[in-house]
Amino acid sequence: MWCVPHPKKSNHTLVLLDTEGLGDVEKGDNQNDSWIFALAILLSSTFVYNSMGTINQQAMDQLHYVTELTDRIRAKSSPDASEVEDSAAFLSFFPDFVWTLRDFSLDLEADGQPISADQYLEKSLTLKQGNSQKDNNFNLPRLCIRKFFPKKKCFIFDRPTHRKKLSQLETLHDDDLDAEFVQQVATFCSYIFNNSKIKTLSGGIQVNGPRLESLVQTFVNAISCGDLPCMENAVLALAEIENSAAVKKAIAHYDQQMGQKLQLPTDTLQELLDLHRASEKEAIKVFMKNSFKDVDNLFQKELAAELEKKLDDFCKQNMKASSDRCSALLEDIFTPLEESLKQGIYSKPGGYHLFIKKTQELKNTYLQEPRKGVQAEEILQAYLKSKESIADAILQTDQTLTEKEKEIEMQRMKAESAEAAAKMLEEMQAENQQMMEQKEKSHQEHVKQLTEKMERDRIQFMAEQERLLDLKLREQALLQKEGFLNESRQLQKEIHNLQLEMERQKEQCTII
């Protein structure tokens, strides 16, 4: 394996997978070759098959591995009964096919007219009429190539240099090679660099480095255990890893956003909820961008639970920060009152009114302080309640007040206390309502972004199905033109299944 910066596409890596030659008689077991062939198909976006000389029956026989692909690879973990015949599931992740012919010595002609290498390949894949075993053996590899590799390309190469210099080929410079061969190699490389696509799995999932590593491990482990490599299982295993990482990435983004924007304590609960909602929206976007194949939305539900827990933690932190600040403010602002109480300044005739006046002044000073947070009223009322017994004692000992006045003042104090308690209860109910509304808005944001993602996935799926349908219709037309009506009817079944699946996708609706 070679991994190099792509010579034509920035921010892309060109991965070259070179396998050992197929058909080595010394190995004695062609099972090895079959698995190598299958792995190369599974991992590549462009599959280059390299052979010597012309495309004849011997060359086709050596390519018999293509006829075994459905015996070596599964597209789905629980295939339908018809999947063996249906190539659509394989076409969605099979690579383009390039056949390179080394030491090619024929003139590219057909019926006395020059033809291209691609036309030569297409002509070589023409089927033979007949129902004998020999005819079937002739047609099978050609049918499989046409079926599994709709996009095909052929390149021919002259002998690179004189026969006597072939043993020194590794050390020769381009100037020592045949000029025609050098040009042919340049044309081949240009095609590969400019036309090879990013390896893409079913559902439009593009393969990067970590994903390639996961695919290799999954496929090799399956083969080592005696199972068939299954693309659906590989994608689900990949999704398990990446969706878990997507949750972590989304939470990290949320933490970063809240860390940058949030200053505790907030003046109101709504201020905290607004910051949470904005950060949550961005976090869900991060998850949607980095996740795929989230079966039953399990990872999105995990994200939602994590974000809800984060909000609960921030609410608790906000309350503590507010409590700490308010307690510190009260201690600082009401220190003069505490000192006066210790000195007995209010324990004299007229002291009660002085006490009430001073308390109100300090209370107003406290209320004017900024950013006290959500606990401002509760902490103040708790402090004032702790002074009720002192206020009552001062009231009872104040000789300037009549018993009637004292009774009226007692009722006023009770009314103020009841009013404050009712106000706190109302605020608590309002905050509970805000939290309930926040949960509903959070749910709606998850639904909204999930629906948008599902619609994007559906559009992408439909585009892929349209592409596959077009390829199958072209192949069917070619089979009919060649007179292979039985094969055309078999292909019609696949076309019908594909069209039914497309109709189901068009009618599909999601209830969340």
pLDDT, tens only, 249-270: 999 999 999 999 999 999 999 9
> DSSP label at 230?
B
- At 23, list the tokens: 């058909």
- At 76, list the tokens: 């789905």
Place of tokens 């034509």: 8
Q: What does the buried/exposed string (b/e) look like for 454-489 if buried means 16 or more CB atoms within 10 Å of the residue's CB?
A: eeeeeeebeebbeebbebbeebbebbeeeebeebbe
pLDDT at 48: 95
- Each residue's pLDDT expressed in tens, for the chain with a length of 512 residues: 899 999 999 999 999 999 877 766 566 566 788 888 889 999 999 999 998 899 988 888 888 888 888 888 888 776 554 444 456 678 878 899 999 999 888 888 888 899 999 999 999 999 988 888 888 889 999 988 988 888 899 999 998 877 767 666 777 777 778 889 899 999 999 999 999 999 998 778 899 999 999 999 999 999 899 888 888 888 888 999 999 999 999 999 999 999 999 999 999 999 999 999 999 999 999 999 999 989 899 999 999 999 999 999 999 999 999 999 999 999 999 999 999 988 888 888 888 889 899 999 999 999 999 999 999 999 999 999 898 889 888 888 877 777 888 788 888 888 888 888 888 888 889 889 999 999 999 999 999 999 999 888 888 888 888 888 888 888 889 888 888 888 888 888 888 888 888 888 776 644 44
Q: Which residue intervals of 44-154 are DSSP H helices?
A: 57-62, 69-72, 88-91, 117-124, 133-148
Beta bridge partners of 156: 101
Count Cβ atoms within 10 A of the Cβ of residue 303 and give its class: 0-12 exposed, 13-18 middle, 19 or more buried: buried
- At 38, list the tokens: 């299958």
Q: State which H helix or E strand residue 184 sits in.
A: helix 179-195
Pairing of strands 96-102, 46-52: parallel
- Taken in order 328, 330, 336, 340, is the CA torsion positive or negative? negative
Do 472 and 143 form a contact (C-beta atoms < 8 A)?
no
Q: State which H helix or E strand residue 433 sits in.
A: helix 403-482
Q: Which residue intervals of 262-297 are DSSP H helices?
A: 269-290
* Cα 489 from Cα 114, distance rounded (Å): 34
C-alpha distances (whole Å) from 394 to each of 296, 383, 432, 449 are 68, 17, 39, 63
CB under 8 Å to 150, separation ≥6 — which residues? 91, 471, 474, 475
* Cα 362 from Cα 371, distance rounded (Å): 17
Residue (of 405, 413, 344) closest to 381 by Cα position: 413
